[in-house]
């Protein structure tokens, strides 16, 4: 790849419509030589090992896996691949993204032209990070974050209630709010989602 042509891009997203939308969008750019796609972590790693893409555009949540995990795994097999994380559901802090090996994070709320520009900037060696701290768009309260942190340790609702001097009923209400805001159904999914969004240390 030169600074302006021959870019190889890998799109990693488990939502079919989004996946194909990004591929069609990027394929139309004169500076993109090829744009391949993967729906999950292992498929993405296999593609990266064989194709050595210049940029990987990775959804922050990939079913049972996180985009941060996919980023680390892809860069293990293709160290020169630069990664741009993207999400419609939440935020990841620049520090967490960088620790996973990513060069940027943007929101799916961005317009098509801005997404294309971000991919190009990442390919040219820049970093691109959406404004806002970890999990800003999720909207968890400080108390909900405390409860979430204790859920991640494996504590029961009764144990959390004791630690935070709350009633078990209040903890249950906080837990229900956390599930709703993260779009998950149980504790395991909540912890996995929170890790992917950079909400847990």
Same domain, 110 and 12: yes
- Of the two residues 87 and 88, the one the predictor is more confident about is 87
Across the range 13-40, mean pLDDT stands at: 92
pLDDT at 41 over 70: yes
Specify the pLDDT at position 136: 47
Same domain, 48 and 123: yes
pLDDT in tens, 146-165: 999 999 999 999 999 999 99
Task: Note whether 120 and 160 are same-domain residues.
Answer: no
81/28 same-domain check: yes
Point out the least confidently predicted range of 4-8, 40-44, 87-91: 87-91
Residue 107 lies in a domain: yes
Q: Does residue 123 belong to any structural domain of this protein?
A: yes
Q: What pLDDT, on a 0 to 100 scale, did the predictor assign at position 135?
A: 47
Residue 134 domain-assigned (yes or no): no
Q: Which residues of 31-55 are buried (b: 16+ CB within 10 A; e: fewer)?
A: bbeebbbbbebeebbebbeeeebbb
Looking at every residue in the chain, the average pLDDT score rounds to: 86
Q: For the chain, how many structural domains are there in total?
A: 2
**Chain segment 94-142, per-residue pLDDT in tens:** 878 888 899 999 888 788 888 898 899 899 888 888 654 444 446 678 8
Do 156 and 73 reside in the same domain of the chain? no
CB 128 within 8 A of CB 122: yes
Q: Which domain holds residue 40?
A: 7-129
| Statement to judge: residues 84 and 175 lie in one domain | no
Instruction: Report the half-sphere exposure of 35 (CA within 13 A, side-chain side).
Output: 20
Crossing angle, helix 41-51 and helix 67-77, to 10 degrees?
30
* Residue-level pLDDT at 53: 96
In a domain, 188, yes or no: yes
* Judgement on whether residues 25 and 68 belong to the same structural domain of the protein: yes
Residue 118 and residue 72 share a domain = yes
Q: What CATH code is carried by the domain that includes residue 81?
A: 3.40.50.2300
Same domain, 162 and 106: no
Same domain flag for 115 and 158: no
**Residues with Cβ within 8 Å of residue 189, at least 6 apart in sequence:** 182
pLDDT in tens, 58-80: 998 887 888 889 999 999 999 99
Q: What is the pLDDT of residue 89?
A: 67
Residues 122, 185: one domain?
A: no
Phi and psi dihedrals of 128, rounded to 5? -135, 115
Radius of gyration of the chain (CA): 18
Q: Is residue 2 part of a domain?
A: no
> What is the spatial distance between Cα 128 and Cα 71, in angstroms, rounded to a whole number?
15
* Same domain? 22 vs 119: yes
**Residue pair 133/12 in contact by the 8 Å Cβ criterion:** no
pLDDT value at position 134?
Answer: 45
């Amino acid at each position: 790849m030169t600074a302006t042509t021959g870019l190889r891009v890998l799109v990693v997203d488990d939502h079919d419509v989004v996946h194909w939308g990004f591929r069609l969008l990027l394929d139309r750019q004169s500076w993109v030589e090829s744009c391949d796609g993967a729906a999950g972590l292992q498929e993405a790693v296999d593609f990266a090992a064989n194709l050595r893409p210049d940029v990987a555009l990775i959804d922050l949540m990939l079913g049972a896996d996180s985009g941060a995990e996919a980023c680390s795994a892809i860069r293990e097999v293709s160290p020169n691949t630069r990664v741009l994380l993207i999400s419609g559901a939440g935020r990841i802090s620049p520090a967490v993204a960088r620790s996973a090996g990513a060069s940027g994070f943007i929101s799916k709320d961005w317009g098509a032209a801005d997404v294309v520009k971000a991919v190009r900037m990442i390919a040219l060696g820049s970093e691109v990070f959406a404004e806002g701290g970890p999990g800003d768009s999720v909207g968890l309260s400080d108390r909900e974050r405390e409860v979430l942190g204790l859920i991640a340790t494996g504590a029961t609702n009764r144990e959390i209630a004791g630690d935070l001097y709350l009633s078990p009923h209040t903890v249950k209400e906080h837990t229900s709010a956390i599930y709703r805001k993260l779009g998950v159904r149980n504790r395991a999914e909540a912890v996995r989602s929170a890790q992917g969004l950079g909400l847990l240390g």
